[in-house]
Copies of this chain bind each other. A is one copy, B any other.
Amino acid sequence: MKIGLIDTMFARINMGKIAEETIKEIAPEIELEKITVPGIKDLAVQVRILLEDKNCDIVLALGMPGKEAIDSQCAHEASLGIIYAQVLAKKPALGIFVFENEAKNDEGLKQIVFNRVKKHSINAVWMIKNPEELSKRAGTGERQGFENVGGID
């Protein structure tokens, strides 16, 4: 099994490293392929390359959009590209973005980043090793970056 990790120079926290450490801890047998690109709009093509040509079973596409309106538009374009790349490759990728304006200060931002990247790294491992872990949490209000909100049924 192999997981691809793509992060950016633009991000202000080394997201790829968090993902790498999390996966190595919980599933050391999984092979990793890491790559860094300039920014989030450069993720989509690498998603397809890693899934189709580098034999990855799943990819984490990691980024931290800035707080301006143009950054929000970039994130939208990047997300559509990541979805598009998966659909063409017929293998999954998780687009994991933390927006700079999700927190009030650097400390808060760090907490969100660590929480979201760790949880999604676990999700990725589950998706290729133990999909039943996701099934048993269907509709339970799982959140990445924050506390789970829980189900209402």
Q: Show the binding face of A for B, using Cβ within 8 Å.
A: 7-17, 34-38, 41-42, 44-46, 48-49, 52-53, 64, 70, 72-74, 76-95, 99, 106, 109-110, 120, 123, 127, 131, 134-135, 137-144, 149-153
Copies in the complex: 5
Q: With A9-B140, A11-B139, A143-B10 in contact, is A87–B48 under 8 Å at CB?
A: yes
Residues in B with CB closer than 8 Å to A7 are 138-139
CA distance A132 to B43 in the complex (A): 16
Instruction: Beyond A11-B141, A41-B82, A78-B83, list 20 extra A-B contacts (CB 8 Å).
Output: A7-B139, A9-B140, A12-B139, A12-B150, A13-B152, A14-B138, A35-B131, A36-B131, A38-B120, A38-B144, A41-B79, A44-B86, A45-B90, A45-B92, A49-B90, A64-B139, A77-B80, A80-B83, A81-B87, A110-B152
CA distance A85 to B88 in the complex (A): 8
CA distance A127 to B36 in the complex (A): 9
Selected from B37, B95, B134, B141, the residue in CB contact (under 8 A) with A41 is B95
